[in-house]
Amino acid sequence: MKSKFFIYILPLILGIVATILMLNAPQPQKGAAKKTVAGAPPASVPPVIPEVTENKQETKEEETKEDTETKPEEEQEETEDDETEKETDEAVATSKLHEAFVTHAKNISQNDLWLEFIAMDDVLLRCVKAVDTIAAGDIPVEPLDFLKPKTPFSASLNAVGLLVVTVEAIARYQKAFDALRSIDMQAAVDLFNEIEPVLDEIFHGLGYPETKTFRGRLTEACTVILETPVMKGEGGLVHVAANLYKYSNPQLEELLPVQKLLIRLGETNREEIRRRVTEFAKLMKLYAE
């Protein structure tokens, strides 16, 4: 009886004890700080307001952006000013160089065609291009366009029935021949030696590497002219089409374009050109080595 009673009464006793313990446990006072939870900020530290941090960050980003945007503009203005000043200096230097060249070039010849040529703004560039074109074996049509004849080439039968270039066709270049004959070759060499660095700079501007020199290209041009065959009289021609002829001799037809032009200038003029080029090359010591 007692044991059964105890079994029934035990849960009741445990319940009463638990209730007493809960009632006697210390209770938090009103206004007291709550217990700190792991991972949460301490109650004494004011919470960080995200909006304020973002605003400050945005302000710094905007200031940095403004500095970044302003700085390139200032640098660009300085660069543009430097480039403008550099271009101005180069233009002045080029102008002075041209004036000096014309002054010295007048000592070479007083021929009207020569004076017309050296007065051109791009005379040095024309000279370099003409030499470069001849060295390649071609006719310098573009750099010496002012020498282009106004009348077309012509040919006629000679006394033995051979089709050759006419006297009128040869005479189209008479002004150029006169200018060539008037040049003081020693004065021309002196002028070349004085402005050679400028000629090299222009030559490299055409795309040639620094290892090559304009003097070397000039030597090649002289070689092309001097290697033109020496022949008596004029080569026979074959009429191909309107104002178009070719040499009947295959060996002459296989020559470089500028060499065939020299042959068409007539025997007297060919020999004069050869003599003047030989004199110039000797004074320049182009074949000294």
The per-residue pLDDT for range 276-286, each reduced to its tens digit, is 999 999 999 99
The amino acid at residue 191 is L
Q: Does residue 70 sit within a domain?
A: no
Query: Encoding tokens for residue 247?
Result: 């040499």
Q: Identify each DSSP E strand in 88-165 by its residue range.
A: 155-157, 163-165
Query: With contact defined as beta carbons under 8 Å apart, do 278 and 261 qualify?
Result: no
Question: Residue 233: what pLDDT?
Answer: 82
Q: Does residue 199 sit within a domain?
A: yes
pLDDT at 1 over 80: no
Question: Residue 85: what pLDDT?
Answer: 75
Q: For 38-47, 82-91, 222-231, 256-265, which range has the lowest pLDDT when averaged over its residues?
A: 38-47
Question: Residue 82: what pLDDT?
Answer: 72
The per-residue pLDDT for range 2-54, each reduced to its tens digit, is 444 444 444 445 554 444 444 444 444 444 444 433 343 444 434 443 444 44
Q: Does residue 197 sit within a domain?
A: yes
Mean pLDDT of the chain: 80
The amino acid at residue 166 is T
Which residues on neighbouring strands pair with residue 239, listed in sequence order? 245
* Number of residues in the chain: 289
Question: Residue 44: what pLDDT?
Answer: 41
The per-residue pLDDT for range 141-167, each reduced to its tens digit, is 999 999 999 999 999 999 889 999 999
Q: Does residue 240 sit within a domain?
A: yes
* Number of domains observed in the structure of the chain: 1
Domain that holds residue 135: 104-142+151-284
The amino acid at residue 48 is V
Pairwise CA distance, residues 81 & 14, whole Å: 97
Question: Residue 69: what pLDDT?
Answer: 56
The per-residue pLDDT for range 54-104, each reduced to its tens digit, is 454 555 555 555 555 555 666 666 677 777 777 777 666 667 777 778 888
Q: Does residue 165 sit within a domain?
A: yes
Residue 243 pLDDT grade (very low, low, confident, very high; cuts 50, 70, 90): confident
Which residues on neighbouring strands pair with residue 164, listed in sequence order? 156
